[in-house]
Structure 1
Amino acid sequence: MASFSNFFSQVVDSLINSGSGLNVGCKLVLSCAGDSVTFPISPPSFEVSNTYNNGTINVNSLGDINMLGKRGLATIKFSSFFPAQAYDGIVNTTPDSPYSYVQKIKSFAEKGQPCKLAISNTNINLNVTIDSFDYSEKDGTSDVYFSISLREYRYVLPNSNKLNNTTGLASRVAEEQKEKVINWYPGMDLMDVAAQSVGQFFPIEEQDAKQLSIFKTLVKTKNLNVGSILHVTKQSIKIDDKTKINF
């Protein structure tokens, strides 16, 4: 067993420290509805895919021409494992049960709410949905190997003032949410808080400007920390029911 552990440590160290891998000390956190999973073993690499929905049309006098589209949703994929025992230099303490991680990720996928993925030392900090989560045991060690695929989640509020081209009537949309409660949990930053604050209260074309304005205001707020509870409306944010920030 010792020889296997030494070999395994060398293999994982090689993967993590390779040029294509994540930075040493990189931490991945997947959170949902106030709960979170910190992956115990950083994957040797991750893959981000961005699409831009460009198209091609044919014009009789010109032939094919490109048409620029709007950006699609980013997808993120990575693979690693949940260890069932300590490995020297990788997991030095007895880890949680591999299947406790599995059950928590499955519960996130089934909550009906978007998650948040944060990868330290990178620019990855996104609202996401879990598209797929596959896991298996391979080598008799009880370690659980997994692959996960995540897709960016974008908050969108339809603009109900626009008229339908066919009927001439305003679109019927669900009644706007009067108040949203945001729990600032580990892995979020102030820009995430600002994004969630505007996501369900403003049409998408107004969100960027509103988000930046709220972010600048939050930066100046002294008693806002991880663990704070924010009560957000379209006009203001109340922090732990004490400090009130008007938009």
Structure 2
Amino acid sequence: MASILSFLNQAVDSLISSGSGLNTGCKLVLSCAGESVTFPVSPPSFEISNAYNNSTINVNSLGDINMLGKRGLTTIKFSSFFPAQAYDDIVNTTPDSPYSYVEKINSFAQKGQPCKLAISNTNINLNVSIDTFDYNEKDGTSDVYFSISLREYRYVLPNSNKLNNTTGLASRVAEERKEKVINWYPGMDLMDVAAQSMGQFFSIDKQDAKQLSVFRTLAKTKNLNVGTVLHATKQSIKISDDTIINF
């Protein structure tokens, strides 16, 4: 029981010291291919890493020069546990069995499709891949402890089919789809829906303007809330109540 008590104490200490935190209503939702996992116990902390790929070169007459690079991929890591029993004021939702979460996350990692991570009350809403997912049991409680590492996934739709002059390779193309199904999960907002609608149909340089246009149209549409299912194509979005938004 020592580890679970330590975990609970950490969560309580976090609440006392900050007055707010992940355990005060913040939810983490990982979704993939129309399915989702809402983590029943919010981690006491999470770690975000942003690389910017700066480099240093040496010029004979000047010495070292710092060369600014392009933004790398964001990584997110956190640890928590899937409870096998009730823990008052710690568990966000009525939990399923611990290994049902494990099986679903493992299935996400093997689907060959990117996932989506949304953390409510933060600006984190990213397409991601699952890099590592480790889990174990301890304390004899049947709770399953886990650590997960996620990496940002960027959709790239090239403007042409020309090969890159440096690598000799064609750009990675987002999976071509005639239609994309978007499930509105907790933690998503209208801009997230707009971004998902555009991500696989337009090249990066055109996405911002398209997203803003779709966002404005969605903002005027009624009957949009958590649980809504949208069907996006390159020309329109169809909402589950058969409302069609053309763009």
Which deviations, in whole Å up to 9, do the C-alpha atoms of 1:148-200 show, x marking residues without a partner?
0011111110111667659xxx9897995333332333333211211111111
Structure 1 residues 173 and 154: CA distance shift in structure 2, 3 A = closer
State how far apart, in whole Å, the 1-side matches of 2:207 and 2:67 are. Answer: 25
State how far apart, in whole Å, the 2-side matches of 1:176 and 1:105 are. Answer: 24
Name which one, 1 or 2, has greater alpha-carbon Rg.
1
Counterpart in the other structure of 2:199: 199
Displacement of 1:88: 3.9
Which deviations, in whole Å up to 9, do the C-alpha atoms of 1:112-131 show, x marking residues without a partner?
12111111221111111111
State how far apart, in whole Å, the 2-side matches of 1:70 and 1:6 are. Answer: 43
Counterpart in the other structure of 1:13: 12
Output the TM-score relative to the length of structure 2. 0.83
Structure 1 residues 130 and 103: CA distance shift in structure 2, 3 A = same
Structure 1 residues 160 and 139: CA distance shift in structure 2, 3 A = same
State how far apart, in whole Å, the 1-side matches of 2:93 and 2:105 are. Answer: 22
Contact persistence 2:34–2:181 (CA under 8 A): no
State how far apart, in whole Å, the 1-side matches of 2:184 and 2:143 are. Answer: 32
Displacement of 1:79: 0.5
State how far apart, in whole Å, the 2-side matches of 1:192 and 1:44 are. Answer: 25
- Give 1:74's aligned amino acid: T
Matched, 1:119 2:122: no
Moved more, 93-102 or 117-126: 93-102
Counterpart in the other structure of 2:216: 216
Q: Map residues 102-113 of structure 1 onto 2, 5 A cutoff.
A: 102-113=102-113
Counterpart in the other structure of 1:228: 228
The DSSP-based 3-state class of the residue aligned with 1:78 is strand
What residue ranges of structure 2 are gaps of 5+ in the alignment? Answer: none
Displacement of 1:54: 1.4
The DSSP-based 3-state class of the residue aligned with 1:80 is strand
Which deviations, in whole Å up to 9, do the C-alpha atoms of 1:29-52 show, x marking residues without a partner?
111222211111111110000011
- Give 1:32's aligned amino acid: C
> What percentage of residue pairs aligned between the two structures are identical?
82
Which deviations, in whole Å up to 9, do the C-alpha atoms of 1:2-44 show, x marking residues without a partner?
x998887545422454449635222111112222111111111
- Give 2:240's aligned amino acid: D
- For these two proteins, the number of residue pairs brought into alignment is 243
State how far apart, in whole Å, the 2-side matches of 1:58 and 1:112 are. Answer: 42
Structure 1 residues 55 and 186: CA distance shift in structure 2, 3 A = same
Structure 1 residues 221 and 96: CA distance shift in structure 2, 3 A = same
State how far apart, in whole Å, the 2-side matches of 1:36 and 1:5 are. Answer: 26
Displacement of 1:90: 2.8
Displacement of 1:89: 3.7
